[in-house]
Structure 1
Amino acid sequence: MDSSEYREHDGLSLAGLLHTKQVLPVDLMEQALALGERCDEAFNALCYLDPEEALAQSRQAQLKGQFGALPFLLKDSGLASTYLRSSVGSRLFADMKSPISATLNERFIADGFISFGRTTVPEFCMAPTTEAAQNGGPTLNPWDQTRSAGGSSGGAAVAVSSGVVPIAHGSDGGGSIRIPAACCGVFGLKPSRGLVPLGPSRGEAWGGLAADGVLTRSVRDTAAALDGVVGMEIGAPYAAPAVPGKYLELLSHEFRRPLRIAKWTEAFDGIPVAPECVAAVEYAANLLEAMGHEVISAPLPDIKYKSFLRSHQDVLAASVTLTVNGKLRSSPDAEWRSKLEPAIADAYDIGKTLSAETYALAINRFHAIARQMEVYMSGYDLVLSPTLTQLPAKLGVMSMETDFRSFRNTVGEYTTFLAIINASGQPAANVPVYWTDTDLPVGVQLIGRFGHEADILRVSAGLEEAAPWAERYSRLKLTV
């Protein structure tokens, strides 16, 4: 198998070749490592590669789970691995080692994934663009290298779109799976709160906003990956509704009736939405109507967006303070402040001064949004919206070389449709059905009711069939 053939397959297709002994695990790993090296040189998307360990694991691999022994990448978000170091995109946390493996990582391993490195992130995963100083420069969008790959799972989206791996780990606390999926033209689903385990070292992240998942080239790969990792974890503070069956099997089930889908083309507080982003929604709406569903132009829920942004900032700042103080208690560093980017250093100071009342108010505000969204969606099965309010951002536009609140206010105007769904805990996915005339992806978002991932996956699979995107990936050339 050469690199061109490897890049034509999605994860389940490669797994099929493994299970039928048409290829060996080490054959796939050799291709992934070679492509990874070229991808990193071209786009600065990977870090903490461990080729020797990966090749050793592949040579010894016994096929297991759905994916057999498939090359995989963990996000540099700190998801614990006993052999891959992490930095969380920060010079202060460079080269962290973990004595344990996260529950999610163990489930990835059990389902047949072999991780050979990590993917780049912004510092502390707190930006919609991946331009961390720790990475030595920005992670570039493979479709337009003057633009951001998105964040915080920016490196993961680049690795998947460019074909290094068909599936990569991501996480999402304010759009961090959906943003880069939109920027790089891949499928990315944020699961419902409590569906995917966060332990064993923590029960929640960012006040319940954050969830782990994957970014993929095909909808079926996301469905299959979820089948391997979902389920309750002992002691977890949240639980999603029971899964209705195997997601992969549910993809082929027809809906018993047409779905009612609310369509949003305007943003909260009159925030401008680029015409290309509106065009993407209208294009997807036409596809959905052709599939037999009812798409309704609907008013936005009555969410006080500026108040929510403030609460989101407060919880993120508190998280920065907690994280930095934990590092300093275990490993004092006299130069620690100079190792943080300006916006994150400012967030640390904000977090130190937050009152308990302010933090509690923020959490209550998130819970109120969850109730609002569930009531709002009582009349709809799904919501269709732009993923981002603008085209993928130009590099340097959302810099951390400023104060934290100014930075996050700018982010809030770019990701207006995303973080509220982290607050509500609902599932949501970027679906890459629309591209500009210049081959730039423009994502649309499908939002589902809490615990209704299957609806999103089934509709997304229909959109993938109606407007296939897989053939576009062959246009990306990994040359430096």
Structure 2
Amino acid sequence: MEAAISVAEQRNPKLNALCCTRFDAAMELARKADLKGRFGALPFLLKDSGLSATFLESTIGSRLFRGMTSAAEATLNTRFMADGFLSFGRTTVPEFCMAPTTEAVVYGGPTRNPWDASRSSGGSSGGAAAAVAAGIVPIAHGSDGGGSIRIPSSCCGVYGLKPSRGLVPYGPARGEGWGGLAVDGVITRTVRDSAAALDGIAGMELGQPYAAPPRPESYLALLDRPFDRPLRIAVWTEAWEDIEIAPECLDAVRKTAGLLAGLGHEVSEAPLPALKYSSFVNAIIDVMSASVTLTVNGYIRQKPVDDLASLLEPAIFDAYQRGKTMSAETYALAINRFHSIARLLETYMLDYDFVLTPTLTQLPAKLGSLTMQDDFKSFRTAAGRYTTFLAIINASGQPAASLPLHQTKAGLPVGVQLIGRFGAEAALLQVSAQLEAAAPWIGRRPTAF
């Protein structure tokens, strides 16, 4: 814990990745800690996403929620603690976790990318990925409602897996987030650590609205097991509606395809499934807007405010206004669109074990290029062009991981995404481990300090 706090104090002033820290209390927690679970007594960071933890305040990236406390632990946090994680702070997020970059006003400035301080660390788990990449902790909590684990993992050159819907508990206060899009997980430097963490946090909880997919007794124990046949892997090198993909992102995909073929797998470029992407983005905008209204109204009923607009960033205030006037039919249609995506993608994957895509369509965004100063629809439409291959997998509920296999000539991380079938975390972790062994990334260190 002394080491983690020392690195945090040295590197966080430049990154702005940590918030709600309790260093003195954490040292006392560490002094009293017993070794338990898979991780013993390991310094850890919770995302400032509102995950209930009695030890740490939360803001959800918003001035409105500054200083919010919890009376009880979330089920997930209970599992983190049982596995040996010692949380000593939270990591920064965009307001309400609704952006692919972390630049919330409440933190006094943007969270910077450890590889290039002029660029975003990604979002919404931007602080978590930056903290792991910078060596403050080897593993941190993340959540993903539209790419929020995979985006920052790609930007910061770390490994991030989004689990299948229902595999990781979301309660007990809530059963779902964003119409079933949101899931929790971790961001790590190694595939091994993600597998070990999933062993500790996976599994249904009482009253959960979604059935967790079948899981093995241990993901970690299966990590080095060879496949009994070559995997069938589809490769996507174009995006819907002529959305542009940066050459560096395509180059990363093609190099990864070569690695997979070299490992003996059957790799082939494949057509995109036929979906109307702009309609899907509109559905996300509707569900997010409804979520903002629900969250804000729930808070201000208990603590009324005089000037709500001054406490919310412009895009989020606009989302709040949109949600207040949204019809029930509009919301129900958005949920139906998510469900149709799930059926489309799962049917598509009957012919494949995995799909390989760019994680992002562009290199990590320059700070200030995607801001909450716009109206919410324009902001989220721009975000959708940057994260085209990500939120569809939140709608389908499938697992997906961003792997830090590549860098530009200037040393900027470029992630690639592997999408698995529903419930196929074990196989996804296995093939991730094969790629990690074929093209190791553990020796890379950020240069922006």
Normalising by structure 2, what TM-score? 0.99
Q: 2:338 aligns with which of 363, 366, 371?
A: 366
Residue 268 of structure 1 and its aligned partner are, at CA, apart by 1.0
Name the SS of the counterpart of 1:409 in structure 2: helix
- State the one-letter code of the partner of 2:291: S
Query: Mean alpha-carbon deviation: is it higher for 35-44 or for 246-255?
Result: 35-44
- SS of 1:397's partner is coil
Which residue in the other structure is 2:42 paired with?
70
Question: What is the alpha-carbon distance in structure 2 between the residues aligned to residue 79 and residue 123 of structure 1?
Answer: 14
Runs of 4+ in 1 over 6 A off after TM superposition: none
- Please name the residue that 1:354 is paired with: 326
Aligned partners of 2:211 and 2:443: how far apart in 1?
38
Is the Cα–Cα contact under 8 Å of residues 154 and 359 in structure 2 kept in the other structure?
yes
Percent identical = 66
Aligned partner of 1:170 among 120, 142, 145: 142
Q: Distance in 2 between matches of 1:477 and 1:116?
A: 24
CA distance in 1, matches of 2:448, 2:309: 40
RMSD of aligned residue pairs (Cα, Å): 0.7
Query: Is contact 1:309–1:409 with CA below 8 Å preserved after alignment?
Result: yes
The one-letter amino acid of 2:176's match is E
Counterparts of 2:51 and 2:124, CA distance in 1 = 14
Aligned to 1:342: 314
For 1:415 and 1:37, how far apart are their aligned partners in 2? 32
CA displacement at 1:477 relative to structure 2: 6.3
Shift of 1:52: 1.4
Q: Residue 335 of structure 1: CA displacement?
A: 2.1
| Residues in 2 aligned to 1:254 and 1:465: alpha-carbon distance in whole angstroms | 13
Match of 1:132 among 98, 101, 104: 104
Contact kept in structure 1, 2:115 and 2:448, CA below 8 Å: no
SS in 2 for 1:384: strand
Partner of residue 41 from structure 1, selected from 1, 10, 13: 13
The equivalent position to 1:207 in structure 2, one of 158, 176, 179, is 179
SS in 2 for 1:147: strand
- For 2:275 and 2:84, the matched residues in 1 are separated by 42
Partner of 1:448: 420
Query: 196, 203, 206: which is aligned to 1:224?
Result: 196
Are 1:182 and 2:138 an aligned pair? no
> Which whole-Å CA distance do the structure 2 matches of 1:141 and 1:162 have between them?
9
CA contact (8 A) 1:182 1:443 kept: yes
Partner residue of 1:298?
270
Q: 1:126-172 deviations in whole A, cap 9, x for unaligned? A: 00000000010000001011110000000000000010000000000
Aligned residues: 449
**Cα distance in structure 2, aligned partners of 1:282 and 1:271:** 18
For the pair 1:278 / 2:250, whether they are aligned, the reply is yes
1:381 maps to: 353
Amino acid at match of 1:232: M
Q: Which runs of 5+ in 1 are unaligned?
A: 1-28
Letter in 1 for 2:14: A
**Residue of structure 1 equivalent to 2:88:** 116
AA matched with 1:123: E
Residue 130 of structure 1 contacts residue 155 of structure 1 at CA under 8 Å; is this kept in 2? yes
1:92-143: per-residue Cα shift (whole Å, max 9, x none)? 0001000011000000000000000000000000000000000100000010
- Paired residue secondary structure (2:184): strand
In the alignment, is the contact (CA less than 8 A) between 1:162 and 1:476 conserved in 2?
A: no
Q: Per-residue deviation at 1:83? A: 1.4
* Preserved contact between residue 286 and residue 323 of structure 2 (Cα < 8 Å): yes
Instruction: Tell me which residue corresponds to 1:17.
Output: none
Superposition deviation, residue 240 in structure 1: 2.2
Separation in 2, partners of 1:228, 1:408:
34
